[in-house]
Structures are given as structure tokens and as C-alpha cells.
């Protein structure tokens, strides 16, 4: 029968832009949701959990950056890929957008074909960090489930706090490679968290405690950072 179509949410205050995107995205096989302002977009995003969100940076009242930040803040919407539309290719805007977590950029005026291509590219990335379907990542005996925010080891639930969960999640997702304290700070705590790097140490310690014997899997790489190993020793 019919393949399930991926849903794309377009948030832009200009009807013309919405129409242009709507027709092109539909032609490309997407289901299109629309919102005319930031607040509405946010509400629909939370409610519908689209596969991709196209977000205009410049909107009255609630800017794209604000919407983006709000989306990134909480779980169900925090991993939805976001494509930003910017009026001008101002480098500042780009930076501002990336800082709050946009995944890609298109500057107005854009060619519809280009947008469709980028949406596809960004949507394809999804399997890595799926939203609707809970993702199970594994590192040795550790399993993570973002939807439930539970981590298990050997089938046993760990009572992690949200920070600990995000920390372990990042380490799991990048098993085997060293993560510097700076990287961990910016990825786990957020872009503008101005924290002491030693804070990471404390959380690693608490995490190790809760991991019990498996705490040894979190290896300290002197002078560089931390790394999660699959095998002990």
C-alpha cells in the first residue's frame, strides 16, 4: 500500500514561502505541516513530532533561535533535525543558529530544489538519533533508552539523574574515542555553559559509582579526557 510519508514542519511567517515549500516538499513525497509563527510552530512540533523542522530565523515575536532553543531543551523534540532559513548569509546569524543547535542552513532566496535536497539529507541522518522509535545504543552490557531515560547494565536499571544520563549517553554513542572535558561540557551541558572543567570529573565520579563494577569501563585518559571502553582492562 502506501509507504509512510515523513512529516516536515515548516515554520515561517510568510505565506508565500510556506506555499513554495509546501508544494515542493509534497512533490518530493513529504507530508507537510505548517505554522505561521514561532509559538504555533513550537506547539505543533511538540504535538506532532515531525521528522524534520524548517525554521525561519527572522520572525516577529518569537524568533527562530528562540524556537530552536525551546525545542532543544526537552526530550521528545530535542533531537529533531532543524533546517534554518536565514534572510542573509550573515556569518553572525549562522553562528547564532548553530549555537542553539540547528543542523543545516539555507539562505533566502533559496532554490526549492536545494531545500528538498537538504531536508532529505538531514532526515536521512535521523536513524542515528531517532525520535519516535526509542533508540537502543549499546556499549558492552550497557543499554540506553532515551524515550524512557533509562540506562541498564546487565538488565538492571540504573537510577541516573538527567545529567548523568546525558553524560553516559554521549560516551556510549562515541564508544572508544576520547572525549575531552571541553567537548563533554559543551555537548552534555550545552553551548554556553560556563562551567569549571573539573565539574566533569565530579560527574564522572558519580557516574562510575552508579555503574558499580562497570565503572571501570569509563577510562581516564590522562591529560586528554575520558573514554568509554567496551572491554574491561
Partner DNA sequence: GAATTCTGTCACGAGAATGTCACTTTAGGA
Partner DNA sequence: TCCTAAAGTGACATTCTCGTGACAGAATTC
- Contact residues: a second copy, CB under 8 A: 36, 39-40, 43, 46-47, 74-76, 91, 95, 134, 147-149, 161-162, 176-178, 180, 182-183, 186-187, 191-192, 221-224, 227
Considering only 1-9, 13-21, 139-147, 195-203, which stretch makes contact with DNA by CB under 7 A? 195-203
DSSP code of residue 4: P
| Closer residue to DNA, CB minimum distance, 125 or 205 | 205
Q: What is the DSSP string of 85-148?
A: EESS--HHHHHHHHHHT--EEEESS--HHHHHHHHHHHHHTGGGG-SSSPPEEEETTEEEETTT
Binding partner of residue 36 among a second copy, DNA, none, CB cut-off 5 to 8 Å per kind: a second copy
> Minimum CB separation from DNA for residue 113, in Å?
37
| Residue 222 touches DNA, criterion: CB under 7 A | yes
Closest CA to 33 of 48, 46, 20: 48
| Closer residue to DNA, CB minimum distance, 53 or 204 | 204
| Closer residue to DNA, CB minimum distance, 74 or 156 | 74
| Residue 228 touches DNA, criterion: CB under 7 A | no
| Closer residue to a second copy, CB minimum distance, 198 or 222 | 222
Contact 177, 186 (CB under 8 A): no
Q: Which member of 128, 182, 196, 232 binds DNA (CB under 7 A)?
A: 196
Of all helices (H) and strands (E), which one includes residue 214?
Answer: none
| Residue 164 touches DNA, criterion: CB under 7 A | yes
Considering only 49-57, 79-87, 170-178, 217-225, which stretch makes contact with DNA by CB under 7 A? 217-225
Site track 115-154 with DNA (rule: CB under 7 A), x = hit? ----------------------------------------
Task: Classify burial at 98, counting beta carbons within 10 Å of its beta carbon; exposed 0-12, middle 13-18, buried 19 or more.
Answer: middle
DSSP code of residue 179: B
The three cell numbers locating residue 179: 572525549
Q: What angle do CA 154, 160, 166 make, to 5 degrees?
A: 100
Query: Which CA distances in Å does 66 have to 40, 108, 215?
Result: 13, 20, 38
| Residue 24 touches DNA, criterion: CB under 7 A | no
| Closer residue to a second copy, CB minimum distance, 177 or 202 | 177
| Closer residue to a second copy, CB minimum distance, 143 or 180 | 180
Closest CA to 130 of 61, 75, 171, 185: 75
Binding interface with DNA (CB under 7 A): 73, 159, 161-164, 181, 189, 193-196, 198-199, 201-206, 208, 220-225
Amino acid at each position: 500500500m502506501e509507504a509512510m510519508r515523513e512529516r516536515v514542519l515548516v515554520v515561517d511567517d510568510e505565506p508565500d514561502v510556506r506555499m513554495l515549500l509546501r508544494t515542493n516538499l509534497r512533490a518530493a513525497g513529504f507530508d507537510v505541516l505548517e505554522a505561521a509563527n514561532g509559538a504555533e510552530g513550537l506547539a505543533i512540533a511538540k504535538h506532532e513530532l515531525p521528522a524534520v523542522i524548517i525554521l525561519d530565523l527572522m520572525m516577529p515575536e518569537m524568533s527562530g533561535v528562540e524556537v530552536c532553543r525551546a525545542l532543544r531543551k526537552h526530550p521528545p523534540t530535542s533531537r529533531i533535525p532543524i533546517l534554518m532559513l536565514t534572510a542573509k548569509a550573515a556569518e553572525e546569524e549562522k553562528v547564532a543558529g548553530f549555537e542553539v543547535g540547528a543542523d543545516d542552513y539555507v539562505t533566502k532566496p533559496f532554490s526549492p530544489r536545494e531545500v528538498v535536497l537538504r531536508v532529505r539529507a538531514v532526515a536521512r541522518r535521523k536513524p542515528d538519533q531517532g525520535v519516535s522509535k526509542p533508540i537502543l545504543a549499546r556499549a558492552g552490557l550497557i543499554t540506553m533508552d532515551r524515550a524512557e531515560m533509562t540506562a541498564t547494565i546487565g538488565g538492571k536499571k540504573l537510577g541516573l539523574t538527567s545529567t548523568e544520563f546525558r553524560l553516559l549517553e554521549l560516551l556510549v554513542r562515541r564508544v572508544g574515542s576520547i572525549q575531552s572535558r571541553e567537548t563533554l561540557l559543551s555537548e552534555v551541558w550545552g553551548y554556553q555553559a560556563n562551567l569549571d572543567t573539573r565539574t566533569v570529573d565530579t560527574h564522572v565520579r558519580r557516574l562510575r559509582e552508579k555503574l558499580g563494577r562497570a565503572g571501570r569501563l569509563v577510562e581516564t585518559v590522562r591529560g586528554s579526557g575520558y573514554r568509554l571502553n567496551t572491554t574491561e582492562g
